[in-house]
Amino acid sequence: MIRVVDASVLIKAYIPEAGSEQAGTWVARVEEGAVELLAPDLIYPETGNILWKKVRRGELTEAEAREIGAAIGSLPLRIEAGRTLLPLALDIALACGVTVYDALYVALAGVYDTRMLTADGKLVALLENTPLAGQAELLA
């Protein structure tokens, strides 16, 4: 099984919050080789920025953020270059009203004829009444 994963899911796999158990299950399945997760190269700066914000808000220590960042960096994700996805992502963003950042993940899912996993309910809602409805799967 192949899925595209976004930063919201990876963060939840390492930080206890709503959806963490399900996100952790997906990551464990990757580590077991049962699932292949794909992401655009944007995932690393996005997860890094989320960790930075959590440190600034006092939700994580610097050491915890570094440890989580290293764990995410060592996951065996298949990474695709954003530059090759950009034309399609821009079309999706313009047509669906989502950010180009989010559209990169949606575009990658389309290229591989799969769905993306996200914890972003707003993204799923924005895609709901478009031809891309069902492309994004909300992490429960």
6 is in an annotated binding site: yes
Instruction: Kindly list the strands in the beta sheet with 78-80, ordered across the sheet, starting from the edge strand earlier in the chain.
Output: 78-80, 36-40, 2-5, 116-118, 136-138
Pairing label, strands 36-40, 2-5? parallel
- Dihedral sign, Cα of residue 5, residue 6, residue 9, residue 10: positive
Task: Name which of 132, 70, 59 is nearest 102 in CA terms.
Answer: 132
Residue 102 marked in a binding site: yes
Cα 71 to Cα 50: distance, rounded to the nearest angstrom = 14
The answer to whether 19 and 120 have CB atoms below 8 angstroms apart is no
Distance CA 13, CA 106 (A): 20
Q: Which residues define the annotated binding site for Mg(2+)?
A: 6, 102
Q: Which residues define the annotated binding site?
A: 6, 102
